[in-house]
Amino acid sequence: MELCMNLVNGGSISVVNLNSSRLSRSLPVRKNPISLQSYTCLRPPSLSRQFQPSQFAVSASPSSSSSSSTALSSEKDQLPADIVVTETQEPNSRVKLSIQVPPEVCDDCYKRVIDEFMKQAKVPGFRPGKKVPESILVSHVGKKSVQKAAVESILRRTLPHAMSSVTGTPLRDSVRIVTRFSDMEQAYSSLNSLRYDVIVDIAPEVKWIPENGYKNLKVVVEIDSDIDAQKASEQELRRRHKSLGSLRIVTDRGLQIGDLAVLDISATTIDQDESNVKSIPSAESKGYHFDTEDGDKVVPGFLDSIIGIQQGETKSFPLVFPESWTQEDLRGIRAQFNVECKELFYRDLPELDDSLAERLLPGGTSLKQVKESLLQKFLEVEQTAKEQAADNAILDQLCKMVEVDIPQSFFEEQGRQLYGARLLEIQANIKLNEQQLASLSSKKAVDEYLLNQKENITHMIKQSLAVGDIYKRENLQLSTEEIVKEVENSIAEFKRQKQDYDEERVRGQVQEILEGAKVLEWLREHAEIQYVTR
């Protein structure tokens, strides 16, 4: 008799499964009037649908034999007697079920197994379909095989009944039998009854502190000064103007603002103990092309210290790396810089007037029109950036206002999908060989990622659950037209990239992304948002 056996994934990433139908970050969603960009990267796929009951894929504890993993249907049939289920609450939104199966149920399952063997077994001396005495049939199949099949039949029939009594909504693929299969076989063989334990994760409850606090959000959004539309458009116009000029060698003066210099730069740490002085490799550069109009991109004081330097001249001066410096290991470090000017140029620029309009911007008719077009472009960029920053600030605020007991299986599922998306990005940028791919896809690599990124993954899950809860609480709705249009766009994108896709999965992900965008739109409308420039 052939039984349906199924092993649950033990934690490694299978490259075969890392396709666009499984990962939210690979879902191609086109930008619509309620920008999906920020939310697409934050919400794990099929979040709400994780909570829907489905076919139970159950595995026994790792110490059991592999044969103890059985695919169990969620459909319930009538049992000849009631089973007894005791539920115990455990941490991390998990419950433990202790299930006692009476002899009447065990006998009925045994009879069904015998009937199934009777139909399939080819016993010497008996024609197909001919009734075979039970003792001969058991002897032919093997008593051990019959008992094993009976236990599996008991599990398959009783577990759906046990799951229907669970307080809360079970998470898909989180059901696990923790009793050793060998112990169940022994108990059934000696007592003609069965008792087994199951653990299952349930959908976590979102608790708001304070209750409904999301309705009166006060959010301070920090905006980088670089996205200021007026400033950005002026810088772009300056960049385009400079691209039309020619570089001339400076021969009769030192460095001025607006010049471009080719520099050899070296730096060492400043320490009273001269024996402890070290070079700073990351601050060293040979033939560095330094545009003096980019003075805000170097260490504060660097530009002022080299103003006036002439070709062939060397200047030495001390500077301190600011605490806001990108490289953390250099923050606060006092350094001695040595700069040699190898070459010095000035820009010979054409006069900035209407005659340059077409060269500054294709289709441009006047300098005023060029400035207005650039400003409009950067106003759109600024607005998008502000919305993105506001969404991130709101999501961070929501995360601080909710308490969620996150199930371990849910954490691992979302973490693996994020890691899968990351691996896809690596594969897209770097051609990995089989050995590298196997190493990055291993259980060890995934587990290390889950451990190192635990805080970030937890943060994202809390944001996702909070957003989903708001969508239900506020009874927000999506139009069928919105969903259909976005699904069509996404599928068209998959086809254009010649990628496989699961239409149902795409539809589910699109709906959740749109739901998230709808929530963020609602929150922006009801929140008090203050923008500050940093």
Q: What is the band of 142 on the pLDDT scale with cuts at 50, 70, 90?
A: confident
Residue 63 pLDDT grade (very low, low, confident, very high; cuts 50, 70, 90): very low
Superfamily of domain 51-203: Trigger factor ribosome-binding domain (3.30.70.1050)
**Contact indicator for 533, 225 with CB cutoff of 8 Å:** yes
Lowest mean pLDDT among 16-25, 147-156, 352-361, 429-438: 16-25
The Cα 231–Cα 203 span in angstroms is: 48
Q: pLDDT tens digit string along 246-290?
A: 999 998 999 999 999 999 999 999 876 666 778 899 889 999 999
Q: Is the pLDDT at 31 greater than 60, yes or no?
A: no
pLDDT in tens, 323-336: 988 888 898 999 99
CATH 3.10.50.40 maps onto the chain at 246-348
Average pLDDT over residues 80-105: 93
Q: What integer pLDDT is reported at residue 73 of this predicted model?
A: 54
- Least-confidence region, from 61-75, 104-118, 158-172: 61-75
Residue 101 has pLDDT above 90, yes or no: yes
The pLDDT of residue 74: 54
Stretch (H or E) spanning 252: none
Token pair belonging to 365: 């008719």
pTM equals 0.64
Q: What is the mean pLDDT of the chain?
A: 82
Q: What percent of the chain has pLDDT over 90?
A: 51
What does the pLDDT read at residue 313? 95
pLDDT-wise least confident of 25-29, 151-155, 346-350, 370-374 = 25-29
**CATH number for the domain whose boundaries are 246-348:** 3.10.50.40
Prior bond of 210 cis (ω within 30°): yes
CA atoms within 13 A on the CB side of 168: 21
pLDDT recorded at residue 107: 93
Q: Give the least confident one: 11-25, 121-135, 190-204, 518-532.
A: 11-25
Instruction: For residue 270, give the H/E element and its range.
Output: none
What is d(CA 447, CA 254) in angstroms, rounded to the nearest whole number? 58
75 pLDDT band (50/70/90 cuts)?
A: low
Residues of the chain with CATH 3.30.70.1050: 51-203
Residue scoring higher pLDDT (506 or 173)? 506
Helix (H, G, I), strand (E, B) or coil at 394: helix
Distance in angstroms (rounded) separating the CA atoms of residues 66 and 274: 66
**Over residues 362-368, mean pLDDT:** 94
Residue 530 has pLDDT above 60, yes or no: yes
